[in-house]
Structure 1
Amino acid sequence: MPQPNQHKPCPPKSEELIRAFKYYFALGTPDTQLVCLLKKHYDVARFGLSLKSIKRWRKELGLLSTRQQRHDINSISAAVDAIRAAFPSRGANTITKQLRLKHGIHVSRKTVSLYLQLVDPEGVQARRQRRFVRHRFYAAGINDIWAQDQHDKWGPRFGLWLHCGIDPFSGFNNWMHVWWTNKNPRLITKYFLDAVRELGAIPVTTQSDPGTENYGVANVQTLARHELDPTLADTLQHRWMSKAKNVKSEANWSVLRRDFTIGFELLFEED
């Protein structure tokens, strides 16, 4: 018996389909998964894309796999050095992803790791000596909790005060802003409302440190939840977390400090 879709023609190479094809490929999606993911971007009742067609399209579009690109430590050196200029502490795994996403270079993590061992053996050893402590965090799903927090490390030195709001379930930053202050409750509330308008949703609960700058978000969130669900009357829809307990936001800043700020602090100090 012939397989379903066996004789269907390939879909037209529309702009949307090609854009989706390149996007999934840049994420490192294997061909077998591309077959399924691309079905959302064409009429499956009329057209079909087989694994063989996917490979042919990749070749026509110049989207070569890691093995086909055949990169070595010499061919990736310029791109890796450019990344390390901005992010000196970035490791092999993150650099491999950025090479793929930003430079179109598909290379194995092993090759990147080998290059880093040659040019920055001290940094490689320092990253290996890190000790991670695993913690358990529970969230029911997307928009269950929005955790927010401020970051003051750049304030005294550069006059830059950061604030972020993150969805811990997905790890998505609903906002990440830098301004001359992060203590104004009206400003923080605006960050929250701008994210709500952009995403078209509010969380079940918001969460923050017990600082006065977060009072506006707590009040707006509670009022909105009461309007949507009257049974929540007389309840606070915001969690006040004691010091070092707002773990997801703190982890967010930890990643930023380890990966992002080192290179930019060097630039700031040059100016």
Structure 2
Amino acid sequence: MDQDEMDAAIKVYFSMGLTYKDIINVMAIEHGVVISLRHLKRMLRQMGLFRRKNYSNIGDLIDFVQSQIANSGQLHGYRWMYEKCLAHNLHCKKEDIRVILGILDSEGTAQRRKRRLLRRSYSSKGPDYVWHIDGYDKLSRYGICISGCVDGFSRRVMWLNAYYTNSDPKIIGGYYLEVVESLGGCPRLVRGDAGTENIYVRDIQRFLRLDNDDAMAGYNSYMEGRSTANQRIEYWWSFLRRECTDYWIRLFRRLLDQGDFSGTFLDVNLMQFCFMHVIQDELDSIMEIWNRHLIHPSRNANSPSGRPDVLYHMPELYGTISYLCEVPSHQTAVCKEECSFRGPVPCDRDVYDLSCMVMKENRYQYPNDSDSAVFLYLELRRTISAAIV
């Protein structure tokens, strides 16, 4: 690894907000480069990278926070907003973000202070020891269903996908298999509810673990239970509600109350056409930021603090190992034949083609935020409904 590559890697890790200790460990484990704390600080100084210097312009911070508040960012606390600033290359202090949020969104700040959550004690031996999967149906009335999976030890989000269904077991099996294929292995245990939507995940997990010889091999590698007891993923859904979906729930409810959504086949499919990719982009961003944000120490000694990506990829730093069970490529190939995967069309094909035609005729742009998505939805609904009548 030459000096330019080393500098580039350190700059990336620094911009992610990793501590000096984490950067040193990542460089040693991932790149085979051993550097001292003193040398690391010297390199950072030479690159002009400082923790407490060269902060971004306060006006840029205010503009960014204001833009976030205009959408689902109005749900964010200052710690999460700080992580979003880092993700957008804004160097700032948490205290500055706290003050800015208090001024720009005083009502939301007051509401967040009232929220409290009691957690049950949880324990997982290491990354990939258990994955928690579940579906989130708060937006399903509007045709948008979210599926997610969280690693129990690291709290790393393994997938977070929006699609038109959460009830097709082949689709859920496809989500699971995509991650297994990318990792080259499966977890020791999968925890899900007893619903029929998980039967392909259950069967694939048991098939992939059939030849293993540990106590949780084969049939025991999938655990069923009540959705409310699936603690890791249930907590994550409450987090997602606070930071993202509550905004969309209120937006869609407003369309419903105004008579602009009636739950018809056309309305649901237009919702999927206009909003699906906007929501998926936001889910991708939340997943990325969550996986690299810092989880602070808690009273539960069995849940280590740290960044989910670091906890997941470098378990040796926390006195444990990865429990990933290696899966041969020919086994995943067999399973893929039984699964379905998300395609480029987010709704009914006829509605999709008709909507594209109306957009082309009127030179409408595909939306990239909630306002443009609402505009396109209302225009398509008006135009297509009039044509049908």
TM score, norm. by length of structure 2: 0.59
Deviation at 1:30, TM superposition (A): 4.5
Question: Kindly tell me: are residues 42 and 190 of structure 1, through their superposed partners in 2, closer, same or farther at Cα, counting changes over 3 Å?
Answer: closer
Which consecutive unaligned segments of at least 5 residues does structure 2 have?
Answer: 252-369, 378-389
CA distance in 1, matches of 2:20, 2:70: 33
1:93 is matched with: 79
CA distance in 1, matches of 2:36, 2:105: 44
Deviation at 1:68, TM superposition (A): 1.2
8 A contact 1:85–1:263 mirrored in 2: no
Please state if 1:219 is matched with 2:209: no
Residue from 12, 15, 39 that aligns with 1:23: 12
Residue from 238, 255, 260 that aligns with 1:254: 238
Please state if 1:63 is matched with 2:49: yes
8 A contact 1:205–1:237 mirrored in 2: yes
Deviation at 1:232, TM superposition (A): 6.4
Deviates more, 1:257-266 or 1:165-174: 257-266
Please state if 1:238 is matched with 2:206: no
8 A contact 1:72–1:111 mirrored in 2: no
Residue from 95, 111, 116 that aligns with 2:96: 111
CA distance in 1, matches of 2:209, 2:69: 45
1:78 is matched with: 63
Higher relative contact order, chain-length normalized (CA < 8 Å, sep 6+): 2
Deviates more, 1:230-239 or 1:259-268: 230-239
Deviation at 1:37, TM superposition (A): 4.7
One-letter amino acid matched to 2:15: A
CA distance in 2, matches of 1:36, 1:246: 33
Question: How much identity, in percent, do the aligned residues show?
Answer: 26
1:103-149 CA distance string (max 9 Å, x none) = x2222211111111111111111111111212211211111111111
Deviation at 1:70, TM superposition (A): 4.5
Task: Report the secondary structure of 1:170's partner residue.
Answer: coil
Residue from 145, 151, 158 that aligns with 2:130: 145
Please state if 1:174 is matched with 2:158: yes
Question: Kindly tell me: are residues 72 and 117 of structure 1, through their superposed partners in 2, closer, same or farther at Cα, counting changes over 3 Å?
Answer: farther
CA distance in 1, matches of 2:37, 2:244: 41
Question: Kindly tell me: are residues 85 and 13 of structure 1, through their superposed partners in 2, closer, same or farther at Cα, counting changes over 3 Å?
Answer: farther
8 A contact 2:172–2:200 mirrored in 1: yes
CA distance in 2, matches of 1:59, 1:94: 27
Residue from 191, 194, 218 that aligns with 1:207: 191
TM score, norm. by length of structure 1: 0.82
Question: Kindly tell me: are residues 62 and 218 of structure 1, through their superposed partners in 2, closer, same or farther at Cα, counting changes over 3 Å?
Answer: same
Superposition CA RMSD, Å? 2.7
Deviation at 1:36, TM superposition (A): 5.6
Structure having the larger proportion of residues in helix? 2
CA distance in 2, matches of 1:132, 1:231: 34
1:162-188 CA distance string (max 9 Å, x none) = 111221211122222221111111221
Question: Kindly tell me: are residues 12 and 124 of structure 1, through their superposed partners in 2, closer, same or farther at Cα, counting changes over 3 Å?
Answer: same
Deviates more, 1:212-221 or 1:21-30: 21-30
8 A contact 2:131–2:150 mirrored in 1: yes
Task: Report the secondary structure of 1:236's partner residue.
Answer: helix
2:292 is matched with: none
